Structure 1
Amino acid sequence: MSKGGTHRSGLEWFSSLPACLLLLAVVIFSTSSDIHNQMLRGGEQIWSGYYKLRMDPVRPTCNPDVDIDAAVAAELAEAPADDPMAALLGAREKDPADIRLAIERSVADCVQAHQSFKNLQDQMTPGVKVYQAVELFIADLIAFGLESQRFILVILVMLCAVTATLTRHHIAMRAMETRLDYTVSHTLQTIANAMLLGSSAIFRQSSLASDTALSSEELLLHNFWIGGFTCLTLASLYRLFRVPGDLQEGGSLNKAFLAVPLYTVMCLISGTYFALIGHASGIGIYLGKMMELSDMFLNVGLYVWVGMMLKQTRLATLVFNVFRPWRMPPEMLAVVAVLVAAVPTAYTGASGIFVIAAGAVIYGELRAAGARRQLALAATAMSGSLGVVLRPCLLVVVIAYLNREVTTDQLFGWGIWVFVLTATLFALVVLTVNRQSQFNLAPSSEAFPATIQALRPLVPYVLVIALVVLFYRLALDVRMDEFSAPRLLPVIMLAILVYEHVSLKSRRGRASGEVNHQGLERSLRGATNDTTAEIGALLLLLGLSVSIGGVIERSHIMATFPQAFDSAWTAMLLMVVILVILGMIMDAFGAVILVTATVANIAYASGIHPVHFWMVTLVAFELGYLSPPVALNHLLARQVVGEAEIAAADAEGGTFYQRHERIIMPLIAMGSSLLLVAFLPLLFYS
């Protein structure tokens, strides 16, 4: 990902503030369902039969004061005995006793209905009416939130995509350094955005021309997409003709193409393919499929926001302070950093989000401990790779949602063992291959008291987190798990920012490097500014990944492979190759959707256990994110540490391994883990 060297402007808050409000709305809408459930339970406990009091009682229309004798006589008089039609229908004679019994029962039911109405009216006290009004308001809020999810997603994606375009934050292989880079990149972005606009407009017209009538909501969604892509096209045109003055002259065309955002490349490939097969609305159709999983994509946005708020706190620095007294050698500290990072990675939803959020701190701490640049960059890129198999990672939840063959409990249960395996192999690689430091740890008598002292500043953070979790558990009956994490984590991070604002306010002017908190408003604004650009880059890339998946699906590439293999070993070998390649070129969530539709069924039919297959998929994806030519996690590490550090690392001498350690070491660690995860279990069940 590349910022392109632009500075944030005050105008950026005009996009970040709406994005912040949209993300808060998602949290409020999702939390309101928990509040509503508790209100229904509370209402039933306070007023027995509250479910009847939720709506104002309606007076029955029947008459309880009926003259039964007159009603019986009238009923008997309705069908005279000499009526030929009545005789034909078999109703020549009516039993007066039966008629009286039916009328008496009807009157009794009417009397009971009126009595029930009177009782409900008596129970409708002012307190009940106030409670009812609040409860129904929340119910309406939930309904509005569910109906608005798709619109919120479209607005959020388009708003953030325009911001990422204007601030040059889209994910690319390298930053724009020269005027040629800039011109090539924004020219192709403009073409791609115009292609997105045209495809969406054609999709709208074909939907209107179809036999199935479009609802007003669907038509409005089409208009939102078209309006958003119009703004995105105009934004890229504006940037194309508004060349910054800090760019270098000259440049090479080959390098310029590397500065083209990945979403642009995916759009040009998929758009050209769909146009050639006469399916110009293809991109619009596959982008529309995002709406079917709008809650998942909104959760991705919330996780990005959580990661950016984490970046604004002191948590990462305070955690490193715990290990600093032991004076660990750089290699050991790199292992500790990656292992500790696994937990927040699981709570931020994806490895890339954590690299963006805490990568700069990890790199800085490793460099301060004496780590060479190549090792620090390798650990930074891998800092989010081990936690994707741990609870409550969103990617695992999505897999279980899309595949009925597996459950989150199964995946997370085996994910712990996969984490132990990958962590062990990573430690072995770092501590044995090319180790250049002596293991001279500080004496425990000296380090242990300092560690205890360093743990004290973390206690308030633990208490803040515990209080939020307990509030949700006791007040809303919501446990902290993979399903509630997207709505709990933003609240937790906001609570931490509030705590830091209150606790550090009096120390703001101190010289300590740790006390760098800028206040609640600035921290939240900074986090949301980063979030806006990252959401625009990630969600647009994710949407185009789905489109690339559509190209693979429609081109029937997978049909060229057997739909089942006689040997699970052969099938697994093919699966590993395909999954790593997908991890190289696609975003995780888009890749999961594609794998679910294509590769997964082949694996199941070939005798590969579903849980085993998805564990292999997760590890293969992470290897793909660390593998050239794209190596997404390395691109994100490049963003957070800066181009200067990458250039300095590349300039360092040494052996071939030492000069390319940041690429080779993660490949060895994750590659060996993938081979063991993929083939070792086959010995026991194939």
Structure 2
Amino acid sequence: MSKGGFERSGLEWFSSLPACLLLLAVVIFSTSSDIHNQMLRGGEQLWSGYYKLRMDPVQPTCDPDPDIDAAVEAELAASAEADDPMAALLGAEEKDPADVRLAIERSVTDCREAHRSFENLQQQLSPGVKAYRAVELFIADLIAYGLESQRFILVVLVMLCAVTATLTRHHIAMRAMETRLDYTVSHTLQTIANAMLLGSSVIFRQSTLGSDTAVSSEELLLHNFWIVGFACLTLASLYRLLRVPRDLEPGGNLNKAFLAVPLYTVMCLISGTYFALIGHASGIGIYLGKMMELSDMFLNVGLYVWVGMMLKQTRLATLVFNVFRPWRMPPELLAVVAVLVAAVPTAYTGASGIFVIAAGAVIYSELRAAGARRHLALAATAMSGSLGVVLRPCLLVVVIAYLNREVTTDELFGWGIWVFLLTATMFALVALSVNRQSEFNLAPSSEAFPAMLQALKPLVPYVLVIAAVVLFYRLALDVGVDEFSAPRLLPVIMLAILVYEHVRLKNRKGRASGEVNHQGLERSLRGATNDTTAEIGALLLLLGLSVSIGGVIERSHIMETFPQSFDSTWSAMLLMVVILVVLGMIMDAFGAVILVTATVATIAYASGIHPIHFWMVTLVAFELGYLSPPVALNHLLTRQVVGEAEVLAAQQETGTFYQRHERIIMPLIAMGISLILVAFVPLLFYGG
């Protein structure tokens, strides 16, 4: 999870430029579907029956003016020649000439209608129709190509960014590499794990070719992409192993060195060893291949990270914080406001970990600038993405509804609002009551309110830019902002904001109060994509190996050791809470949802737990798991984005036990109480 060792230079676009183009391609392909729908509607409005004009009409081959009498005689003669003597013995009746004539007259009528339709279509095929049709069919082909290439884009993006994360030492681990021993142990195990991934992919390809099922060329090409990608990743980790940086401290402790091993490496070694022992060496490759079944979801994750990194390049977050500064809030209250405000963008980024990576650095720096102590700022940053995962249009909730027919997005989002209010209240109570170290003296409203209104003015252009993009999508493409359109609409909004800042601020020099210098459109986009490549590589590889760990749990039949149903919903819920928190500690959200759907959910339903109640508990339990040691993924991601130095500085601070561990304890108290209430209070009304 450390940065360094491979400083970016003019060669940075060799990784970030392809990643930028791939992410733009995903946006274009998904937007082209909206454009195509509108073109079909527009074509129907301009030319009635346009759907018939999309292809050149084929002239009918039938004769519209036949000799009906001759046709009747020919039909009767052909029927007489084909008569079977056995048919006569069985009482079969001869064809009635009147019926034959009627049938032929109907076919002639149909034939004439077909010719008239062909002539009408020929007349409607004007040059304008042909030009419009050419564009519409091109977009249709583009959409088809985009849908077919999604899996390949995902593989290339994952491998490209994973290699970048390896070269920049940016993978997610329990601690950074500080000594030579840390570095050697970490990269040795990374190389072994990457070689294991390569071998599993090769074996999976060979077993696929050796099966009786026909293998398509696209599937074979996908296998080759995985193999080439893992080969490059293995070489990258081997290169880093042989090129030891000079800035590392000599020596080291072996126990601490193992904590510097990336989480994806640990997951790979565990799952790879398990699959090898049971004689299923292709297991990792198979479960990584399952990522392709949800390729659009994982690509959306990449888009959300990109959106967050572009947000970090803008002044938007700083301007939002400027709105609250006139009130001179104590740090604890400002932390609460920051977490509450962060809930909305979290809902649009799909999962708490994604948001922490995308905007955690901005939140931490703004809280520290406002006077928040390090532990409080770290706690708020780690929890900044935990409240919004139940709000519309969170991608994680959409995946739950997609995988489980027992619930719908409307039901989950409807109850999610109440869960959000509960968790927000708990965090506010904990932050403002436990270890509050500041006086609660807000600025007078007569002083703060006018300053707040003044601080809102710089936000007006941003609101107008966002509104313009949203209105364009609504009016031109008939697309609103929801859980399905957000992944393709948000990158466009952020690009529009970057363009606005480029035009508005390019001639400004110096640093205004509370603002950051804008470095221009190209540098901002390049900086955002540079950060995105390493973060996507670390996150998506972790997501993929998390799916593999889910496969280990599934194949080991651990869940079958538990009762498949409980007589008491209270006992069932207690077990569900424990299992779900543990899964949240060791797996990412999307991989855990897939595993829970296949295993734990069925036990919960059979035990009488309502599906909506179960999934609300699941979401809160996952968030508690991401904040719980020993892994505490959201804290690791916080360290990833704010820097190792800040976390070490916080750990060296003195005080009571709570003060020295506030960044861990505060989120645990808030989410722990919330989980207990969400899990067990509803059972008072329907539990048995």
TM-score range, shorter chain: over 0.9
* Offset at residue 564 of structure 1 (A): 0.5
Q: CA deviation at 1:89?
A: 8.3
2:526 is the counterpart of 1:538: no
Residue in 2 aligned with 1:503?
504
Structure 1 residues not aligned, in runs of 5+: none
Q: 1:79 to 1:559 in 2, by over 3 A?
A: closer
C-alpha distance in 2, partners of 1:285/1:390?
33
Deviation at 1:512, TM superposition (A): 5.0
Local SS of the residue matching 2:506: helix
Is the Cα contact below 8 Å between 1:160 and 1:536 reproduced in 2? yes
Is the 1:4–1:175 contact (alpha carbons within 8 Å) kept by the matching residues of 2? Answer: no
Query: Which residue does 2:135 correspond to in 1?
Result: 134
CA contact (8 A) 2:376 2:662 kept: yes
One-letter amino acid of the counterpart of residue 213, structure 1: A
Task: Give, in whole Å, the separation in 2 of the partners of 1:87 and 1:285.
Answer: 64
User: Which runs of structure 2 are paired with 1:242-391 in the superposition (5 Å)?
Assistant: 242-391=243-392
Structure 1 residues 178 and 191: alpha-carbon distance in aligned structure 2, compared to 1, 3 A threshold: same
Residues 83 and 280 of structure 1, relative CA distance in 2, 3 Å threshold: closer
SS of match in other structure, 1:244: coil
Q: Is the 8 A contact 1:507 1:515 kept in 2?
A: no
Alignment correspondent of 2:467: 466
Q: CA deviation at 1:639?
A: 2.1
CA distance in 2, matches of 1:641, 1:534: 13
Deviation at 1:4, TM superposition (A): 4.4
TM-score by length of 2: 0.97
What secondary structure sits across from 1:193 in the alignment?
Answer: helix
Q: Which residue of 1 aligns with 2:37?
A: 37
For residues 2-401 of structure 1, the aligned pairs below 5 Å read 2-4=2-4, 6-80=6-80, 85=85, 87=88, 93-401=94-402
CA shift digits 1:318-339 (9 cap, x unpaired): 0100011111111111111111
Q: Is the 8 A contact 1:81 1:87 kept in 2?
A: no
Give distance in 2, aligned partners of 1:82 and 1:327. 101
Deviations 1:81-126 (A, max 9, x none): 7966585686774433333222222222212111111110000011
Shift of 1:360: 2.2
Q: Relative to structure 1, is the Cα distance of residues 631 and 112 closer, same or farther in structure 2, using a 3 angstrom cutoff?
A: same
SS of 2:318's partner is helix
What SS does the aligned partner of 2:507 have?
A: helix
Question: Are the counterparts in 1 of residues 5 and 245 from structure 2 also a CA contact under 8 Å?
Answer: no
2:644 maps to: 643
Q: What amino acid is the match of 1:119?
A: N
Paired AA for residue 156 in structure 1: L
8 Å CA contact retained: 2:318, 2:514:
no
Partner of 1:568: 569
Q: How does 1:454-493 map to 2 (within 5 A)?
A: 454-493=455-494
After TM superposition, give the deviation of residue 554 of structure 1 in Å.
0.8
- In 2, the alpha carbon distance for the partners of 1:342 and 1:98 equals 74
Pick closer, same or farther for the CA change 1:74–1:679 going to 2, 3 Å. same
Deviation at 1:641, TM superposition (A): 2.0
Equivalent-residue separation in structure 1 for 2:436 and 2:95 (angstroms)? 103
State the distance in 2 between where 1:433 and 1:6 align.
Answer: 43
Q: Give the equivalent residue in structure 2 for 1:633.
A: 634
Distance 1:283 1:678 in 2: 34
Contact 1:374 1:661 in 2 (8 A): yes
Quick one: structure 1 residues 509 and 329, their matched pair in 2 at CA, closer, same or farther if it must change by over 3 Å? closer
Partner of 2:440, secondary structure, is coil
Structure 1 residues 190 and 81, CA, compared in 2 at 3 Å: closer, same or farther? closer
Cα deviation for residue 359 of structure 1 reads: 2.0
**1:466-524 CA-partner distances (Å, limit 9, x unpaired):** 11111111111111111111111111111111111111112145555514111111111
User: CA separation in 1, counterparts of 2:7 and 2:521?
Assistant: 22
Is the deviation greater in 60-69 or in 139-148? 60-69
**Residues 158, 228 of structure 1: 8 Å contact kept:** yes
Q: Distance in 1 between matches of 2:266 and 2:79?
A: 82
Mapped partners of 2:648, 2:117: distance in 1: 81
The question of whether the paired residues in 2 share the 8 Å contact of 1:161 and 1:536 is answered with: yes
Counterparts in 2 of 1:682 and 1:491: CA distance versus 1, 3 Å: same
Q: Distance in 1 between matches of 2:623 and 2:445?
A: 36
Residues 336-356 of structure 1, C-alpha deviations (whole Å, 9 max, x = no match): 111111111111112122222
Letter in 1 for 2:318: T
Choose 298-307 or 65-74, whichever is displaced more: 65-74
CA distance in 2, matches of 1:620, 1:407: 20
Distance 1:432 1:134 in 2: 63
Shift of residue 252 of structure 1?
1.0
Matched letter for residue 433 of structure 1: V
CA offset digits 1:19-74 (Å, max 9, x no partner): 11111111111111111111111111111111111111111111223222222232
CA contact (8 A) 1:81 1:93 kept: no
For residue 655 of structure 2, what is the aligned residue in structure 1? 654
Whole-Å Cα distance in 1 between the matches of residues 80 and 429 of structure 2?
A: 100
Relative to structure 1, the CA distance from residue 102 to residue 513 in structure 2 (aligned partners, 3 Å threshold; closer, same or farther) is same
Q: What is the RMSD computed on CA atoms of the aligned residues?
A: 1.6
C-alpha contact 2:60 2:115 (8 A) present in aligned 1? yes
Provide the residue aligned with 2:523 in structure 1: 522
Task: Give the conservation status (yes or no) of the 8 Å contact 1:472–1:479.
Answer: yes
8 Å Cα contact 2:301-2:354 kept in structure 1: no
Higher mean Cα deviation, 506-515 or 357-366?
Answer: 506-515
8 Å CA contact 1:273, 1:551 repeated in 2: yes
Q: Following TM superposition, by how much is the alpha carbon of 1:78 offset from its aligned partner in structure 2, in angstroms? A: 2.6
Amino acid at match of 1:471: F
Q: CA deviation at 1:77?
A: 3.0
Inter-partner Cα distance in structure 2 for 1:159 and 1:267: 19
Q: Deviations over 1:147-192 (max 9, x none)?
A: 1111111111111111111111111111111111111111100100
Equivalent residue pairs, number: 686
TM-score (norm 1): 0.97
Equivalent position of 1:451 in the other structure? 452
After superposition, the Cα gap between the structure-2 partners of 1:241 and 1:339, relative to the gap in structure 1 and judged at 3 Å, is: same
1:405-420 pair list within 5 angstroms: 405-420=406-421
2:434 match: 433
Residues 6 and 167, structure 2, Cα contact 8 Å, conserved in 1: no
CA distance in 2, matches of 1:585, 1:83: 77
Separation in 1, partners of 2:643, 2:292: 35
Which one is further off, 221-230 or 510-519?
Answer: 510-519
Post-superposition CA distance 1:223-260 (Å, at most 9, x none): 11111111111111111111122211111111111110
Q: 1:329 to 1:74 in 2, by over 3 A?
A: same
Counterpart CA distance in 1 for 2:314 and 2:207 is: 49
- SS of residue paired to 1:440: coil
1:84 to 1:582, Cα distance in 2 relative to 1, 3 A: closer
